[in-house]
Amino acid sequence: MSKTVLVFDSGVGGLSIYEPIRQQLPELNFLYAFDNACFPYGELSESRLVERCCQVITAVLARHPVDLVVIACNTASTHVLPTLRPMLSIPVVGVVPAIKPAASATRNGCIGLLATPGTIARPYTQRLIQEFAAHHRVLLCGTTELVVQAERKLMGLEVELPVLTEVLAPWQQGEQKPDTLVLGCTHFPLLKQEIAALLPDVTLVDSGAAVAQRVCHLLGAQSVSSQKKYRGPTVPAMMTRPRDCDRPCRPTASTASPAWLLVSRREIQTIPPHSPVSHWLPAPSGFAAGTPSR
The confidence score (pLDDT) of residue 285 equals 33
- Which residue in the list 38, 53, 141, 185 is annotated as catalytic? 185
Q: Mean pLDDT over residues 280-290, rounded?
A: 32
**Domain made up of 4-95+209-267: CATH architecture:** 3-Layer(aba) Sandwich (3.40)
Which top CATH class is 99-206?
alpha beta
Q: What is the DSSP letter of 198?
A: H
pLDDT digit string, tens, across residues 187-238: 999 999 999 999 999 999 999 999 999 999 999 865 555 444 444 445 677 7
- 102 vs 115: CA distance, rounded Å: 14
Is the confidence at residue 182, as pLDDT, over 60? Answer: yes
* Domain locations along the chain: 4-95+209-267, 99-206
Residue 185 catalytic? Answer: yes
pLDDT digit string, tens, across residues 119-162: 898 888 999 999 999 999 999 999 989 988 988 887 778 999 99
Closest by CA position to 113, among listed 194, 121, 28: 121
Is the confidence at residue 31, as pLDDT, over 70? Answer: yes
- Which residue in the list 53, 73, 141, 249 is annotated as catalytic? 73
User: Model's pTM, two decimal places?
Assistant: 0.76
The confidence score (pLDDT) of residue 207 equals 93
The confidence score (pLDDT) of residue 256 equals 33
Closest by CA position to 198, among listed 162, 230, 223, 228: 162
The confidence score (pLDDT) of residue 1 equals 62
Please indicate whether the domains covering 4-95+209-267 and 99-206 agree at the CATH topology level.
yes
